[in-house]
Amino acid sequence: MTISVDKALLLENLRELSDVTVQQRLWVHGSEKIMSSFTEAICGAFDDAGLTRALDSDAAEWPFSMDARRVAKELDRAVSLVPEDQRPEAIVRHASMDEVRGLAGELLRMLERA
């Protein structure tokens, strides 16, 4: 049995997590109509899209490639290194965000091809 993941929602949040320009626009300079945050992006990917449930499942239930599973686990570890209690500017500039952006971009490319 394969675990269900909302791929469209996951891709949307991975785009946000992988792009510093989008992060500046949504997290730092958001407007009343369009805004987001690091916390919203990781919750969207891991909780709302079902990535955490899929990662917690048996590998046989993982809905994507094993390479994608490895990258998703690395991304999960990397996001845990970013302090969510900082101002948006500090989060965007945080040293661990370079790794988050790289891993989110890598996973995004993998899943867009899947």
C-alpha 96/C-alpha 78 separation (Å) is: 7
Per-residue pLDDT of 64-85, as tens digits, reads 999 999 999 999 999 999 999 9
33 pLDDT tier (thresholds 50, 70, 90): confident
3 pLDDT tier (thresholds 50, 70, 90): confident
Quote the pTM value: 0.94
Give the closest residue to 79 by CA, choosing from 46, 30, 36: 46
Per-residue pLDDT of 35-66, as tens digits, reads 899 999 999 999 999 999 999 999 889 999 99
CB-based contacts of 31, cutoff 8 Å, min separation 6: none
Q: What sections of 19-65 are H helices per DSSP?
A: 20-23, 38-42, 51-56
